[in-house]
């Protein structure tokens, strides 16, 4: 079993829960995005600054499997493993795991990097991630 | 009783409702903002385009009185009357009214317009609003 | 090419756009959910009422392909075709299409229905959908 | 100058920023709500559990003064001082302060507690808050 390159802790906020009393499906996309952007920060990049330089990381495909629900007050973490796919795609395997070890959601997010309108290799972002200590 | 300059119809979406089964308090700010931006459009301005030109309408103060709750499926409208306050402030009196005429929320939103870092008169926006047919 | 069972029109609201100036990836999940709930209404069901009766439609898997971005002011519609998978799964093929016919997003949302803690057949929901006039 | 009863630290998440590149006005309501709910937890109450017992804390009035904007990556805290108003109202004075001490937003949130459809005294919530160490 391959390890994770990055992990970020969260706590469910009540405004993220919906009529069913659970975290709304769309909110998981927010959690996943925030964890990816914090991973960027961990390797010295800033999402907002990249955008100002016209380097746009874009989600190309998102695949999410909802296993269990999170509810008000739950503590959880988003764990990320990164791989390259083909020449241009960065793949983020992201698992959301509750503090009691329950698997909540498995996601595979495929992204590309568009610089001045053209796709570029994601290597400058992937290589420093590979060097992060894995858990 | 003075009339409204503008009105926009909405329907509650389920993802806007929270644990209590009612529209979350923060979501009303979204409704109010969207109605103000559509009012801008009605007089020929576009919020995103203004920002690209460095003309930034900014909310300065927001006062909201929550009267009743909206729930899943409710139809409602946001009605707006606009006034000027002092030399630099535009005031939006915004009422949210359910299709059965229940008053849901009364808001007073005070905004200023910042152009290239300095406040400018809101007159270019207010004058065309005053000419809209009132209801 | 098989037709759609349902279609719902939307307009991008400015608060749905993010730092990149485009609709945030997570917001598409809101659009897709709202369209599914409106489809439920079109066949005489109400999502909030179902939940009160402990009949919980749950998303099991979400697969989204982002083709192009929506920006401030764009008009678009969410089109839905429904199919059954196995005995217990309802699959929603949902396409987001801009008013100029650009394909923005293709989604496949797989859902199950949990009644009092156990999965039940989705047939009572699927059969009336199949009878809707296809476009 | 009177002190604060409670303080909660946050960091801006990119999905909370809008077209203007700053935290959207509505998102501050989320921050303020989350801080109030965490204050409830600090005195041994749980918002979701209260709702299940039909004890509904409801916002009655919200007054927000926007002083400066938060942007991507900013660290800030929400500080709360609580007072009683009349017999039935709990008032939350909430200041949002950036890590560099800039005042971002001043809010006064007035709430009531509805138990089984009727307003009740907020004293059971206020008295334990008054005992929290002030800063």
Burial (CB count <10 Å: 0-12, 13-18, 19+), residue B71: middle
Q: Over pLDDT 90: what percentage of chain C?
A: 93
Model confidence, pTM: 0.96
Using the predicted structure, report yes or no on whether residue A48 has a pLDDT greater than 70. yes
C-alpha to C-alpha distance for B57 and B50, rounded to whole angstroms:
8
Q: How many residues does chain D have?
A: 135
Residue A36 contacts residue A109 (beta carbons within 8 Å): yes
- pLDDT value, residue D111: 98
Using the predicted structure, report yes or no on whether residue B128 has a pLDDT greater than 90. yes
Handedness of CA D1, D5, D9, D13 (dihedral sign): negative
pLDDT tens-place string over residues C33-87: 999 999 999 999 999 999 999 999 999 999 999 999 999 999 999 999 999 999 9
Domain segments of chain B as ranges = 6-130
Q: Using CB atoms, which residue from C24, C48, C64 is nearest to A61?
A: C64
Name chain D's partners: 3 or more CB pairs within 8 A.
A, B, C
* Cβ <8 Å between C17 and B72: no
pLDDT tens-place string over residues B46-84: 999 999 999 999 999 999 999 999 999 999 999 999 999
Q: Quick check: is C18 catalytic?
A: yes
Residue position matching structure tokens 């849901």 = B104
pLDDT band at D89 (very low <50, low <70, confident <90, very high): very high
- D104: tokens are 């971002």
Question: Does C33 contact B at CB distance below 8 Å?
Answer: yes
Question: Does A18 contact B at CB distance below 8 Å?
Answer: yes
Angle of helix A25-42 relative to helix C25-42, nearest 10 degrees, comes to: 170
Q: Which long-range contacts does A84-90 make (Cβ < 8 Å, 24+ apart)?
A: A84/A122, A84/A123, A84/A126, A85/A110, A87/A121, A88/A112, A88/A113, A88/A119, A88/A120, A88/A121, A88/A122, A89/A60, A89/A122, A90/A122, A90/A125, A90/A126
Structure ipTM: 0.95
The CATH number of the domain covering residues in B6-130: 3.10.129.10
- pLDDT value, residue D133: 79
pLDDT band at B88 (very low <50, low <70, confident <90, very high): very high
């Amino acid at each position: 079993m391959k390890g994770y390159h990055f992990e970020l802790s969260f706590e469910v906020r009540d405004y993220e829960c919906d009529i069913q009393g659970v975290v709304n499906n769309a909110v998981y996309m927010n959690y996943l995005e925030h964890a990816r952007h914090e991973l960027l920060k961990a390797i010295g990049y800033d999402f907002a600054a990249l955008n100002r330089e016209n380097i746009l990381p874009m989600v190309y495909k998102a695949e999410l499997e909802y296993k269990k629900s999170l509810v008000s007050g739950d503590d959880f973490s988003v764990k990320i493993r990164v791989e390259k796919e083909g020449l241009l795609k960065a793949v983020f395997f992201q698992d959301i795991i509750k503090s009691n070890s329950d698997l909540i959601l498995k996601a595979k997010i495929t992204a590309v990097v568009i610089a001045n309108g053209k796709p570029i290799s994601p290597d400058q972002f992937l290589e420093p991630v590979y060097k992060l200590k894995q858990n």
